Amino acid sequence: MHVLIVEDEKKMAELLKKGLEEENHSVSLAFDGHEALEMAQALEYDAIVLDLMIPGIDGYEVARRLRKTGNKTPILILTARDTIPDVVKGLDTGADDYMTKPFSFEEFLARLRSAARRGSAPRPALLQVADLILDPATHDVTRAGREISLSRTEFRLLEFLMRRAGRVVPRNTIVHSVWDSQEDVEENTLDAFISLLRNKVDRDHKVKLIQTVRGTGYTLRDTTKTV
């Protein structure tokens, strides 16, 4: 499960991230409302954990804007605001569940699983571009039937590009979505990971799928198909 945690208290965010990663989930962090909206619109998540009292745009407005734009990703509100009007308002904005702090991590996991099972917009079981196939559920990647072993970051980068196959994705959008926002990403880090992916995905194949768009970013496309 790929989860976006929106929490401005960095210690709490890191604790949630660590706990979810120990359960073999992939986690991204956002620390304010604007960042949360950008990330939720740029990358597909299985669930969003949303604090209400965050800088910029508050959690209520984040949930409202996501639903207004048709984003159906399950939202679990996790907040210190515990009055009935707060709960009602949170659910009325489109959240799927509401938890208050302090909380049991076991209950949090159960609530998150329950929210994620309700699902968002239908997503393909497999992603495929030409003979490159990626399974988001099992993290299996093959090209021409041969298995490709990827690190966690390589997999997230490849999945991100495959979900936008044929579209040119700006460099800053890729970095902002694939790497956690609290990480200090060097300017050439993206280029280094693209090089690693090319070595594993394209090196032994005549058709090169990962393309550089100079001055803009990258795209992944089947170049044998006419546009």
Q: How many Å apart are CA 176 and CA 154, to the nearest integer?
A: 15
Same structural domain, 111 and 47: yes
Please tell me whether residues 103 and 148 are part of one structural domain: no
Quick one: 17 and 92 in the same domain?
Answer: yes
- Residue that finishes a domain, picked among 117, 137, 167: 117
Q: Is residue 225 part of a domain?
A: no
Q: Which two tokens stand for residue 155?
A: 């997999």
In CATH, what number is assigned to the domain containing residue 67? 3.40.50.2300
**SS3 per residue for 51-95:** CCCCCCCCHHHHHHHHHHCCCCCCEEEEECCCCHHHHHHHHHCCC
The verdict on residue 226 lying in a domain is no
Both 176 and 102 in a single domain? no
Residues 82 and 25 occupy one common structural domain = yes
Print the domain residue range for 131. Answer: 127-220
Note the pTM of the prediction, 2 decimals: 0.62
Regarding whether 131 and 113 lie in a shared domain, the answer is no
Inside any domain, residue 227: no
Question: In this predicted structure, what is the pLDDT of residue 124?
Answer: 60
**Same-domain pairing of 207 and 140:** yes
Shared domain check, 16 and 97: yes
The residues pairing with 213 across neighbouring beta strands, listed in sequence order, are 217
Concatenate the DSSP letters of all residues of the chain into one string: -EEEEE-S-HHHHHHHHHHHHHTT-EEEEE-SHHHHHHHHHHS--SEEEE-SS-SSS-HHHHHHHHHHTT----EEEEES--SHHHHHHHHHTT-SEEEESS--HHHHHHHHHHHHHT--S---SSEEETTEEE-TTT--EEETTEE----HHHHHHHHHHHTTTTS-EEHHHHHHHHS-TTS---TTHHHHHHHHHHHHHTTT-SS--EEEETTTEEEE--TTS--
pLDDT tens per residue across all 227 residues of the chain: 889 999 999 999 999 999 998 888 888 999 999 999 988 887 878 899 999 999 999 999 999 999 998 888 999 999 999 999 999 999 999 999 999 999 999 999 999 988 888 765 455 678 999 999 999 878 899 999 999 999 988 998 999 999 889 999 998 888 877 876 555 677 789 999 999 999 999 999 999 999 999 989 999 999 887 55
Given this model, what pLDDT does residue 86 score? 93
- Domain final position from 117, 138, 157: 117
Q: How far is residue 88 CA from its own chain's centroid? A: 27
Name the β-bridge partners of 143.
132, 146
Is the residue at 99 inside a domain?
yes
Our count of domains for the chain comes to 2
Q: The domain spanning residue 173 has which CATH number?
A: 1.10.10.10
